[in-house]
């Protein structure tokens, strides 16, 4: 099977035209006409990832974050681009286009929290069939403390950060699996009682305690490994969809090395 056949399958699910303007999705390294027999799926392309792909005799790496993101001025023998080419490894990235797909990280987390009537939080301006974030409802409203406990239990994390509690019940919950400052206003507009995101800057988080966001409880899961796991889960689901369409003509290898972990001390 050719790389072009794999990428066509990906782009049927997550079209390149719905990626954000700053992004760099698609085939970053490689010839679309090359044959593929084994694919490695990962979050980031690092030196360790390239080593594993080479040792597993993979032909193609599908990553979430683009290995080539900013401008490249030099390609030297110590760099990742050089190493990928030397090992004849094609590199494909599905980033914000995959975030907008129907089974993104936000949707997976919403399902794990048991939310019902899950919808996208913000429609993609290029194609309204796709969008960012998710919003849904708990079957039974919970107190803020009970909801915080639910999030910690579902995400298997010992701590999380949240804004001032409003002493209100939580029913409607909005989520963003990545850095979610841009979607807070959408969550407020849709009357969410709580908003969960993986990352916010200091001033963005501080704004949650102002009058503007007085009706929403903001929760930050500072647990990047959780997001890694959810994204790998999503990539696995996507890979199985691709396999089903193409009669398992190639093998998938899920990365065994997870780097860039945050460490916590109690």
Q: What is the DSSP string of 20-71?
A: -TT---EEEES-TTSB-SEEEEESS--HHHHHHHHHTT-SEEEESS-SS-S-
**Rounded Cα–Cα distance for residues 150 and 105 (Å):** 18
Q: What residues contact 83, with CB distance under 8 A and at least 6 apart? A: 47, 50
Angle between helix axes 224-245 and 105-112 (nearest 10 degrees) is 110
Same domain for 130 and 214? yes
Asked if residue 262 is part of any domain, the answer here is: no
The confidence score (pLDDT) of residue 238 equals 58
Output the CA torsion 116→118→121→124 (10° steps).
180
What CATH number corresponds to the domain at position 175?
A: 3.40.1390.30
Asked if residue 264 is part of any domain, the answer here is: no
Asked if residue 114 is part of any domain, the answer here is: yes
Asked if residue 205 is part of any domain, the answer here is: yes
Same domain for 124 and 185? yes
Residue 80 contacts residue 44 (beta carbons within 8 Å): no
Q: How many domains does the chain have?
A: 2
CB atoms within 10 A of CB 185: 12
Write the DSSP symbol of residue 223: -
Q: What is the DSSP string of 147-177?
A: HHHHHHHHHT-S--EE----S-EEEEEEEEE
Q: What residues contact 15, with CB distance under 8 A and at least 6 apart? A: 97, 127, 130
Same domain for 136 and 233? no
* CA proximity to 183, closest of 167, 200, 169, 168: 200
Same domain for 83 and 119? no
Same domain for 76 and 120? no
Residue 130 contacts residue 102 (beta carbons within 8 Å): yes
Same domain for 71 and 117? no
The confidence score (pLDDT) of residue 251 equals 65
**Rounded Cα–Cα distance for residues 237 and 20 (Å):** 23
The confidence score (pLDDT) of residue 214 equals 57
**At 218, which helix (H) or strand (E)?**
strand 217-220
Same domain for 213 and 156? yes
Q: Which domain holds residue 108?
A: 101-222
The confidence score (pLDDT) of residue 265 equals 45
Same domain for 31 and 115? no
How confident is the prediction along the chain (266 residues), in pLDDT tens digits per residue? 899 998 998 898 889 999 999 999 999 999 999 999 888 888 889 999 999 999 999 999 999 889 999 888 889 998 999 999 999 999 999 988 988 887 777 888 899 899 999 999 999 999 999 999 999 999 999 999 999 999 888 887 787 888 878 888 999 999 987 778 889 889 989 999 999 988 777 777 777 666 555 567 777 665 444 455 555 555 555 555 555 555 455 565 555 554 544 444 44
Residue 219 contacts residue 162 (beta carbons within 8 Å): yes
Q: What residues contact 244, with CB distance under 8 A and at least 6 apart? A: none
The confidence score (pLDDT) of residue 186 equals 92
**Rounded Cα–Cα distance for residues 89 and 86 (Å):** 8
């Amino acid at each position: 099977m050719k790389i072009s056949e794999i990428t066509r399958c990906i782009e049927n699910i997550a079209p390149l035209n719905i990626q954000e303007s700053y992004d760099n999705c698609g085939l970053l390294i490689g010839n679309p006409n090359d044959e593929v027999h084994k694919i490695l799926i990962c979050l980031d392309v690092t030196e360790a990832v390239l080593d594993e792909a080479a040792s597993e005799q993979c032909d193609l790496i599908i990553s979430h974050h683009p290995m080539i993101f900013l401008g490249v001025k030099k390609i030297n023998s110590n760099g990742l681009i050089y190493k990928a080419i030397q090992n004849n490894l094609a590199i494909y990235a599905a980033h914000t286009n995959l975030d907008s797909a129907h089974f993104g990280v936000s949707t997976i987390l919403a399902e794990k929290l048991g939310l019902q009537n899950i919808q996208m939080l913000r429609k993609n301006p290029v194609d309204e069939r796709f969008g960012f974030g998710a919003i849904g409802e708990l079957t039974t409203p919970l107190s803020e403390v009970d909801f915080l406990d639910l999030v910690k239990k579902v995400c298997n994390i010992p701590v999380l950060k949240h804004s001032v509690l409003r002493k209100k019940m939580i029913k409607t919950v909005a989520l963003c699996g990545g850095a979610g400052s841009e979607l807070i206003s959408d969550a407020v507009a849709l009357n969410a009682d709580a908003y969960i995101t993986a990352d916010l800057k200091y001033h963005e988080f501080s704004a949650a305690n102002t009058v503007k966001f007085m009706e929403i409880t903001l929760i930050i899961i500072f647990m990047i490994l959780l997001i890694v796991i959810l994204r790998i889960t999503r990539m696995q689901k996507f890979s199985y969809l691709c396999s089903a369409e193409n009669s398992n003509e190639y093998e998938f290898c899920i990365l065994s090395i997870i780097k860039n972990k945050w460490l916590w001390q109690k």
